[in-house]
Amino acid sequence: MINLEVPRKLTTLVDQARQAAMAFLRPNSRKYDQAEHTYPKELDTLASLLDGLSASGGGAGAGGVRRSSGKPSTANLSLVLGTMEMCWGDAGLLLSMPRQGLGNAAIASVASEEQLARYRGKWAAMAITEPDTGSDSGAIRTTAVRDGDHYVLNGEKIFVTSGERADCVVVWATLDRSMGKAAIKSFVVDRGTPGFELVRLEHKLGIRASDTAHFRLDNCMVPAENLLGTPEINPAQGFAGVMQTFDNTRPLVAAMAVGITRAALEETRRLLESAGVEIDYDRPANNQHAAAAAFLEMESDYEAMYLLTLQAAWMADNRQPNSLQASYAKAKAGRSATAITLRCVELAGSIGYTEHELLEKWSRDAKIMDIFEGTQQIQQLIIGRRLLGKTSAQLK
């Protein structure tokens, strides 16, 4: 039976993550939103604190996903709970945390024990999207050709979160385009590798504290031992190995959306109450102030995204396949966060639209939660295929 209560042993972790969010992330949220591409050096101290939490059995970052060791655990649940608290503070700053990159989730999902040891403590970004390949990860055109003890990578990668700051980047590439998705593998490319060129940093709508990079790979020589997982191409398996990454990261993105949404709802409640609008849980919504009715509707939507996120994490911790639930959580949280934060801006009127409050920032930050790690439309396709028993060729 699924238990969606926060385990007692995780309450300390949640409290510590909340304190970090209150002490640094929230107070510096506006500062680093305005100072785009400026690295928040204060994060180094905070990252050291989070490393200590992870070593003690917890973790509050975005990328330290653990693989199940065979027994039920709370590793994924602790990560989503910590992520919710930190993104209540600031999502862009969380994504800027050293050693908390999404590439770390890829390494944790499919790396060998030797690779796990080699990249322990490293900050890994993840490069999937290409200029001509958006949501269809199976259409990747970046190639990887074996040359002795190395692979030669050629292609371009865009929208790489923490690409400039990370120690290495997990690059998705195909070993053989004619073999389709089955030939797609992931490679760890260390920063400074010849042929791995940073083209530019993007200016963005939201999560501006986090750098987003565009890379070009021009005959980039990567050691063969940096290929994550097995080099064999198995058409029957497809690219299930690299797709395991999404089963881990999509609940984390959903958790980020939950944190942002809770921040917006809490601030909106404060503003409504200060304006004399009472929110009464004992009366029907249609018998209350219109703003109170709207708030109650948003709050119920928030509860749904929160519980779906916990479910996806709980299933991963209990060794249950969670691909469908990960997409449920990602789709619901991404869409609801965007809608709720914009509605909060609307309810707050002129205060919500200006930089006087963080509401307008949260509405900008929320939008990316509905896009990266698989767009809303892709999540709906995945859900439809699984519920209807259709293949990707049958339901496009």
* Residue burial 354-376, b: 16+ Cβ < 10 Å; e: rest: eeebbbbbbbbbbbbbbbbbbbb
d(CA 186, CA 228): 6
* Residue burial 284-307, b: 16+ Cβ < 10 Å; e: rest: ebeebbebbbbbbebbebbeebbe
d(CA 87, CA 259): 5
Q: Tokens 């690299």, residue?
A: 242
**Paired tokens of 374:** 């698989």
d(CA 369, CA 207): 10
Contacting residues for 321 by C-beta, under 8 A, at least 6 apart:
315
Residue type, 233: I
Q: Which CA distances in Å does 179 have to 36, 183, 361?
A: 41, 6, 44
d(CA 325, CA 119): 29
d(CA 52, CA 57): 9
CA-wise closest residue to 319 among 70, 27, 52? 70
Q: CB–CB of 257/366 below 8 Å?
A: yes
Bridge-based pairing of strands 150-161 and 212-223 is: antiparallel
State the catalytic residues: 373
Angle at the Cα of 335 (from 87 to 33), degrees rounded to 5? Answer: 40
Q: How many Cα atoms occupy the beta-carbon half-sphere of 257 within 13 Å?
A: 36
